[in-house]
Amino acid sequence: MQKLARMAGNTTSHPKSGFTLVEVMAAVALFAVVGLVCLESYLTNLTILQKIRAEQTCGMLARQKEAEYLLSPDDFPESGNFDQPYTGYRYNLEISDITLVDSDVADTENLRQYPFKIKRLTVMSSDAAVTIPLDAEPAPQGPGESSEETGSETEK
């Protein structure tokens, strides 16, 4: 055998060393799979980061508008957009009526109800929205109504 190798021009007595094509292709495929998993994780983290930044920006802008509202609540517009660099953000002032019920009373027929008007400010973008309460005041009551009235009819 050595004579045959010498005749072919190979003067070494040990076989050739190195990787075969199949081994190299398997290693490249393995690195490609690991690379795709890392890329997917990176892109997922980028998406989460964008949402977190949008929520933080909405919160910051909501606090800014809250300060403006507290300075002049009567002149505060119900909705609007923000200036540069926050052109993708907008706000909306919502006013809703709620009724609180005194739950400490054992007699369910004589529950006291307290109507309120709640003002909430919502700042939103395409990725996030933040709502904060601004103000709560007793709702105006109609003639003959009082906060002590019950939901049942009074006896005559």
Low-confidence winner among 47-56, 88-97, 98-107 (lowest mean pLDDT): 98-107
> Could you report the per-residue pLDDT of 7-36, keeping only the tens digit for each?
555 555 566 788 999 999 999 999 999 999
Quote the CA–CA distance of 89 and 129 in Å, as a whole number. Answer: 9
The half-sphere exposure of 141 on its side-chain side, counting CA atoms within 13 A, is 13
Residue type, 86: Y
Question: For residues 124 and 58, is the Cβ–Cβ distance under 8 A?
Answer: yes
What's the pLDDT band for 135 if we cut at 50, 70, 90?
confident
What pLDDT sits at residue 154?
Answer: 42
Beta carbons within 8 Å of 148's beta carbon, 6+ residues apart: 112
Question: For residues 118 and 133, is the Cβ–Cβ distance under 8 A?
Answer: yes
What's the pLDDT band for 54 if we cut at 50, 70, 90?
very high
Higher per-residue pLDDT: 13 or 86: 86
- What are the extents of the domains in the chain? 20-138
Structure tokens, 64: 């800014």
